[in-house]
Amino acid sequence: MIVTKTPWMDRHTWHRRIGIDPINPRSKAGEKVYFDHVRLLSAEEAFEKHTSVEAMCTFARAAEAQAKKLLGKAAGPANVLAQFECTEKGHSVGINYHGPLRSEEIQGLHDALSSLAHLTMKGGTLKFQIQFNVSQ
């Protein structure tokens, strides 16, 4: 499980703020859909400059809520990787997945993630991925 390896947001801090156990992310009580990890694709210095850990956590929790709502009855197991590109004016999202999910479920998730409130930022462009897992 990787979040980042520098002080900006170590994985234990991230997991505590998003509300999951840093040692066992599935421990959030056997949920059908659960947050697995965030991978920063932009330089960490860019995240330090353009957003905050709190803003990232708020955005990730909102994305997780949509994933749980839309994939809660989906067939599993599956992995869903959502890639975001964010600016002050909004964001775009791309989704890749592995598992027995239906195209309607993926399209619904894409639409929901596309319409999330944008990440609070101060200029620039940030890219990152959020992975969700769907259990059986």
107: Cβ contacts below 8 Å, ≥ 6 apart: none
33-79 per-position pLDDT tens digit: 988 888 888 988 898 899 988 898 889 889 999 999 999 999 888 99
Average of per-residue pLDDT values in the chain: 83
| pLDDT in the model for residue 120 | 94
Residue 11's alpha-carbon distances to 20, 21, 78, 99, 117, in angstroms, are 11, 10, 23, 26, 24
C-alpha gyration radius of the chain: 14
For range 9-18, the mean pLDDT: 53
Would you state the pLDDT for residue 80?
Answer: 95
Residue 82: pLDDT above 80? yes
CA distance 22 to 11: 7
Q: Give 19's pLDDT tier (boundaries 50, 70, 90).
A: low
Q: What share of the chain in percent tops pLDDT 90? A: 52
Residue 76's pLDDT is: 83
What's this model's pTM, rounded to 2 decimal places? 0.82
